[in-house]
Amino acid sequence: MTAPRNTSKIAVRMRLACLVAGWGMLLPAAAAVTPCSAPLAVDPPGMHAFVERLLSHMTVREKIGQLTILGKDAQHLDTRIRKGETGGTNGVLPDTDVLAYTRRLQQLAMQSRLKIPLWFMGDVNHGFRTIFPVPLALAATWDTNLVQRVHRAAAQEATAVGVDWTFSPMVDITRDPRWGRVVEGAGEDPYLGSAMARAQVRGFEGCNLASADTMMATAKHFAGYGAAEAGRDYNSANIPAYQLRETYLPPFHAAVKAGVASVMPSLTTLNGIPATADHALIEGVLRRRWSFRGVVVSDYDAVPELVEHGVAATPGDAARMALEAGVDIDLHSGTYLRELPDLARTGKVPMNVLDDAVRRVLEAKYRLGLFTDPFRYDSPARARRVIRSAAHVALARQAADESMVLLKNTHGVLPLDRRARIAVIGPLARDRVTMLGQMPAAGRAQEVVPILDGIREAARDPSGIGYAEGVPVRGGSDAGIERAVQLARHAQVAVLVLGENIDMFGEGLSRSHIGLPGRQRQLARAVIATGTPTVVVLISGRPLAIPWLATHADALLEAWVPGDEAGHAVADILFGAVNPSGKLPMTFPRDVGQVPIHYAHQHTGRPFDDSSPLALHYSTHYVDVPNTPLYPFGYGLSYTRFRFSGIAVQPSTLTVEGSLHIRVRIRNTGQRRGSDVVQLYVHQQVASRSPPVRLLKGFRRVTLDPGSSRVVTFTLHAADLAFDRADGSWGTEPGAFDVYVGDDSTATLHARFTLVSH
């Protein structure tokens, strides 16, 4: 069977169908991503007939091959491809000529009996060759349009060399910074997380999934992976049903509404059931309740791990359980390929279950346009044009600029004078590999601009920029501290570049201590003790507990893991070429003992009360640290100042069918042009389930010149106030609500409205 070419009628019908497909996205009150229809909304003409005809010609072995993704490390991979025994390959990115690899393997697939094209997967989660800030940093921009553009650029680069499917975005909500994969998500809040999920999906998949420069996205890890007990990766998650529905599921639902083409279940257990075998979660919630029409792919080797979980006795049992739960594709392990043929032959796996999974896989490949042209994603000319293009590098710098969060700036020590003598100190100032972050796809360390280089390039006199490592990130000697101290004493300002390196965040890299590792705190103490004004630049893949630095440093800049343009972006902020505008997507604790800590906590029957010793004793508190975080969710400073005023809610009563508008004026009262994020929080005063103290319900980035102001309007509908009620149903309850507007989760500007049932 020969795959049709681009000139076929099928190709024309597919392109037209994808252009008109879809439903509109439900956008937050934040800046909206570019609206377009979802790729899965309307079936391309001719798809079902084509797929059914192909399915009728397939052997059981060929069907199971389509449900199998093997890594490039698989034995006899070339032979299996020629036999039609694998649907695609993963892990194609590191240390690979990706274009040559994907083309060669696709040519092998065209030698198979049915010539079903392969698809190629890679972890493209914050850039392909041009590396952008890590996802947690991108969330700190609170800029959905920017995030969409970042992932659009990543898709353009990856698809030019044949990668047509990414296992991103990770949309897990987490409130525990010990967890290593905090760096891959959008933080603690389901509203912000949902907005970022939509933006990432739309960036990867665009408005037309069959376009040669868009790729399938994957929402992972469904569901609750970010609530791993003790913050330890791969650990179990136990989440009450109401928290699952209100906090952990919304970003996945948002991704599905945005048209995400695939979903990956968590490889861990949720309430005692491994997600890979959770029929109620995959078939019940994802497919039936949410009407998800894409493919479900297991996590890496998650199918055989059902045996390790203790719910399957044999690999055969594991394969049967996963397939019947709704997992279409076995990633990497080959368990489906080894076990399903006998299970199908003996009837232990019904043929209709097998066919349903194969049908979803073939439909996904059809939507990608692979049957029209198996080589549509291989384009050397496009690769030369888009990979690390000037526009993409500039976008990486803008994203890094917007992601950095100014946490402290005592006496306006920042921005720095470009003529100043600066001592750049710290183990991460020259680090290139860490700046790439986790899973850097095809990124190259030699293309990273180190922070030291960026500062020297931006300074008027590079010879006035001294450098000392001081101490390594972890362990080692502190012999270099004296050299750092001497350098600081002879400088006008010291810039300490401290934090975590690449071995301390990401998958499998959880931490029980989330302060500065190694002897970096001793280095900071020694440098600050010189009396030289000291700016700390933090490099981290998670919120850190740094109360000593917060007290003693003159300025503190959270730079996260900034990507290729790290040095340029840090210099932009330090010297004032860019006014910082990032806001925290996660709460910063004072101490790891406060973890998990998040802004949307519930009131207790004995809330904190320090009005008297007796009242304090019988209220919720610690005896050794305040309840409050070091820095709250949504927090971030600027080189200018903003004032909020004139909050108004119209009308003051909201009906179930109606809407209301919250208006507030924001004014730039400082001396510089700057951007702020206006944040809307809502609190229900009385409900059948104890309500959170406040919940984010809208945000908008606003840029203002000095002295100028703008009225920002948010619209609320009754559905925005729905929650999991005490009887287990989802909906609203009438009553009084508080509204808070400001630029972090401690906003005090306040108004009220009432929700009525008629």
Pairing type for strands 674-684 and 422-425 reads unpaired
Residue 569 makes CB contacts below 8 A (sequence gap 6+) with 397, 400, 401, 404, 454, 559, 562, 578
CA count, 13 A, side-chain hemisphere, 750: 6
Residue 617 makes CB contacts below 8 A (sequence gap 6+) with none
Residue 410 CA: distances (Å) to CA of 390, 645, 724: 36, 25, 44
Q: Say whether 738 is catalytic.
A: no
Pairing type for strands 674-684 and 273-274 reads unpaired
E strands along 572-672, which residues? 642-650, 653-654, 659-668
How many CB atoms are closer than 10 A to CB 114? 15
Set 123, 299, 373, 564: catalytic member:
299
CA angle 558, 564, 567 (to 5 degrees): 55
H or E segment and range at residue 698: strand 695-704
Which sign does the torsion angle of CA 283, 124, 169, 299 carry? positive
Which DSSP symbol is given to 601? P
CA distance 314 to 185: 34
How many CB atoms are closer than 10 A to CB 168? 27
Answer for the pair 231, 179: CB distance below 8 angstroms, yes or no. Answer: yes
- Identity (one letter) of the amino acid at 378? D
Residue 594 CA: distances (Å) to CA of 108, 175, 490, 746: 55, 11, 39, 18
Pairing type for strands 674-684 and 735-742 reads antiparallel
Q: Which residues are marked as active site?
A: 299
